[in-house]
Structure 1
Amino acid sequence: MRETLRDAMRALGQLLVAFGLGLVSLMFLPLVLFTVIFTLIVVGAGVLPESVLLLRRFAGVKRRWVGEWTGEAVPEAYEPLVGELRERVRIALEDPGTLRDLRWVAVQFLYGTGAWCLGMPLAVVGVLVDGALYAVGRRPAVLPLLTRLVDHDAALARRLLSPAPGRRLAERVAELTVTRAEAVAAHGAELRRIERDLHDGTQARLVSLSMRIGLARRAYDDDPVRGRALLDDAQDQVEAALGELRHVVRGIHPPILTDRGLVGAVRALAAASGLQVVVEVTGGEDGPRAPAAVEAAAYFVVAEALTNAAKHSGAERATVELARGPGVLRVGVRDEGRGGADEGGGTGLLGIRRRIAALDGTVRVSSPVGGPTVVDVEIPNP
């Protein structure tokens, strides 16, 4: 019974919120009328885009509320209100989201007010009736209806505020088009980097090595000492070339990932970062490994974030979190430095975004002035 009462009180609170939103919805009716009249006489055309923005924020409050109640976010899809006044007015009038939000405002006023007027007496009757039922060992029958009222309100709002499937599909196609273009650009830049590293480093050393071996072969019969010195020098060139090749290969797919797995590789990064780094792992280390591309992306995220922290943040400590959930790998890097990281100030964070976008993942960066800087990444892990 105690749990039933707690759920009922929570539902009653949500009904009060719905009632409040209904009253605010009523305020939007004169605002809409005012906006339409002033737009028709042109004098107040500039009011329309601002009114639509206010309407979007109001609908956003309901979306967040529904997401918190149901545990599933309500998607939104709006055309950006940008450009000259005439363009903004056109977008505000033609955007299907405007009509969708207005329809929800009207329904919210009716349902929110009605649900509250029904919910209050229902709560009073429920306490009395369900208290009596509980006394005789029966299950509560009235108070759970409050939760159903809120569930219906959330379902109705989701149906009214969610964009049409075709719109969501079009946005997803556009998003994937941008992601593909960024992935192709990042791939091209990576190929050019590898080509440059091979041309300027390894290839130059191999050419020098070939020349020294040729000189050593010609000098060996006449001057064995000089020939041996040239061969020793060639040996040094071989070792240097191998080191540069390892560096290039490490940039493509770090061998330590193959040898130790993601957790071991990240711990090696932490140990070599120069910071006091704590690595926290959830989701088990003994399960099946993620695909190589997912592990490599997560590894490079940690490497870049720790490098940035060591170079720019002034931090002494950092935390790396690795978490495997159903179908997703989460990576979080937090440093206690000065913050203020600017994604437009370099290629590090942009490179992270492009690498993760290629795998259809998400990146969130929080770096207020004064710190901390937090990089959170989610990568699909089939």
Structure 2
Amino acid sequence: MGETVRRAGRASVQLLTAAGLALVSYLFLAVLLFTAVATVIVVGAGVLPETVLMLRRMAGYKRRRVAAWTGEAVPEAYLPLTGQLSERVRTATADPGTYRDLRWLAAHFGYGPLLAYGALPLWALGLFVDGVWCGLLRRRAVVLPLIPRLADLDAAWSRALLLPSPDSRRTARLAERVEELTVTRAGAVAAHGAELRRIERDLHDGTQARLVALSMRVGLAKRAYDTDPERARKLLDDAQDQAEEALTELRQVVRALHPPILTDRGLMGAVRALAASSGLDVAVREDGVEEGPRAPAAVEAAAYFVVAEALTNAAKHSGTDRAAVELMCRNGRLTVSVRDEGRGGAGSVVVPGGASAGAPGGSGLLGIRRRVAALDGTVEVTSPAGGPTLIEVELPCAW
């Protein structure tokens, strides 16, 4: 009996919530009328997207209530309301989700309060019949279990009205994907621009300066060759040293574009070399990476730079001397995990398909996100205060 009463109480809360939402819907009706008039006269068309967003929030709240009662989520599918005002108005009016929510709202005007009001006499009758008559005869309750049935009806009708069609879900996913790729492209362009500026700076401040000095040394040596051979020889020795230094800097610039060690040793060999030179005690583990053909060069380079940046950050900021690197290849996806046992605090964010420039975590992690975003990968950084810090990157890998 006690469990029956508790379930009936939960069902009553569910029904009263539905009635309250219906009351809000009545008030929202005035907003709909105002929006319709404003849109017709064009001047107030900007109100339409905001009204549609309010409608989506109300439908979303109902979806959560249904999921809480049934234990099964109700998916949603909406076209994103982004862009210029004209685009947002066009999307709001063309989105099937708008009309689906309006259909649910209209139906909920009726069945929401009706089911809630139906629970009230059942409570009065149930307390007498189930509490007194069934209690004396030691029989199961017969009236109070009807209240959860009303909540089941409310959930079933709401789910049927709010559930998007497969076509709507595909369209919404496609729209989300387009928006995601737009952000990814912006991040990739920003990363490419930053890389070009870095290369230009390295060549201008380093290699170009050394080549200019080298040219001057050779010119001075030519002038001194006939009158002071010893000085000319010393100038040529200095010029040779500067030429070697310029070559070294050029190799570093090229190595930053695509490390030669990747070509020579492959991804796992390059990662093991990184681990050995990081100054940390790094455990390296691989699963399926060395089996079969190698990943595309761009994927290997991205994975290499993720490990390099993560180990550099760990050595500089974590305050620990231990780290672990794991690379795993499964189902055409390359997963890179770098974990350190340091103090943490690097931020925690999941970035599907990359990240925006405003993502937390510092310039190093932002560089990782942008590089991975350019390949349509994902980045997850977990770094609570006190540690540990875990960076997980997943890259699509067409073998």
When normalised by structure 2's length, the TM-score is 0.64
* Residue of structure 1 aligned with 2:23, choices 19, 34, 54: 34
Q: Deviations over 1:215-238 (max 9, x none)?
A: 112212221211111111111101
The one-letter code of the counterpart of 1:335 is D
RMSD of the TM alignment (CA)? Answer: 4.0
Shift of 1:175: 1.3
Partner of 1:96: 97
Shift of 1:55: 3.6
Partner of 1:347: 363
Partner of 1:365: 381
Question: Hey, what's the Cα distance between the residues in 1 that align with 2:250 and 2:298?
Answer: 21
Question: Hey, what's the Cα distance between the residues in 2 that align with 1:64 and 1:219?
Answer: 90
Aligned residues: 299
Structure 2 unaligned residues grouped into runs of 5+: 1-9, 32-50, 83-87, 113-159, 348-358
The one-letter code of the counterpart of 2:263 is T
CA contact (8 A) 2:79 2:175 kept: no
Partner of 2:355: none
Task: Give the share of equivalent positions with the same residue, in percent.
Answer: 59
Larger radius of gyration: 2
CA contact (8 A) 2:342 2:387 kept: yes
Structure 1 unaligned residues grouped into runs of 5+: 1-20, 68-73, 82-86, 110-155
Q: Deviations over 1:60-97 (max 9, x none)?
A: 77999679xxxxxx78658689xxxxx9xxx9xx8928
CA contact (8 A) 2:324 2:338 kept: yes
What secondary structure, in the 3-state scheme, does the structure 2 residue paired with 1:269 have?
A: helix
Distance 1:100 1:315, change over 3 A: farther
Question: Hey, what's the Cα distance between the residues in 2 that align with 1:101 and 1:356?
Answer: 40
* Residue of structure 2 aligned with 1:278, choices 280, 283, 286: 283
CA contact (8 A) 2:344 2:384 kept: yes
What secondary structure, in the 3-state scheme, does the structure 1 residue paired with 2:380 have?
A: strand
CA contact (8 A) 2:289 2:327 kept: no
The one-letter code of the counterpart of 1:170 is A
Shift of 1:167: 1.9
CA contact (8 A) 1:59 1:161 kept: no
Partner of 2:3: none
CA contact (8 A) 1:329 1:380 kept: yes
Partner of 1:207: 212
When normalised by structure 1's length, the TM-score is 0.67
- Does 2:312 match 1:307? yes
CA contact (8 A) 1:55 1:101 kept: no
* Residue of structure 1 aligned with 2:331, choices 326, 331, 334: 326
Q: Deviations over 1:353-380 (max 9, x none)?
A: 1111111111111111111111111100
Shift of 1:348: 0.9
Shift of 1:51: 4.9
Question: Hey, what's the Cα distance between the residues in 1 that align with 2:70 and 2:213?
Answer: 66
Question: Hey, what's the Cα distance between the residues in 2 that align with 1:62 and 1:321?
Answer: 41
Shift of 1:41: 6.7
Partner of 1:243: 248
What secondary structure, in the 3-state scheme, does the structure 2 residue paired with 1:344 have?
A: coil
Shift of 1:210: 0.9
Tell me which moved more, 54-63 or 243-252.
54-63
The one-letter code of the counterpart of 2:205 is D
Shift of 1:178: 1.6
* Residue of structure 1 aligned with 2:186, choices 181, 188, 196: 181
- Does 2:293 match 1:288? yes
Distance 1:381 1:48, change over 3 A: closer
* Residue of structure 1 aligned with 2:197, choices 192, 205, 218: 192
- Does 2:173 match 1:168? yes
CA contact (8 A) 1:66 1:158 kept: no
Q: Deviations over 1:98-120 (max 9, x none)?
A: 946996x99xx9xxxxxxxxxxx
Question: Hey, what's the Cα distance between the residues in 2 that align with 1:365 and 1:222?
Answer: 66
Distance 1:56 1:243, change over 3 A: farther
Q: Deviations over 1:294-334 (max 9, x none)?
A: 00000011111111111111122111110011111110111
CA contact (8 A) 2:101 2:162 kept: no
Distance 1:60 1:191, change over 3 A: farther
**After TM superposition, where is structure 1 displaced by more than 4 Å over at least 4 residues in a row?**
21-28, 47-53, 56-67, 74-81, 97-103, 156-163
Question: Hey, what's the Cα distance between the residues in 1 that align with 2:265 and 2:378?
Answer: 26
Partner of 1:10: none
CA contact (8 A) 1:101 1:161 kept: no
CA contact (8 A) 1:52 1:98 kept: no
Question: Hey, what's the Cα distance between the residues in 2 that align with 1:184 and 1:339?
Answer: 30
CA contact (8 A) 1:78 1:97 kept: no
Distance 1:56 1:275, change over 3 A: farther
The one-letter code of the counterpart of 1:209 is L
Shift of 1:275: 1.0
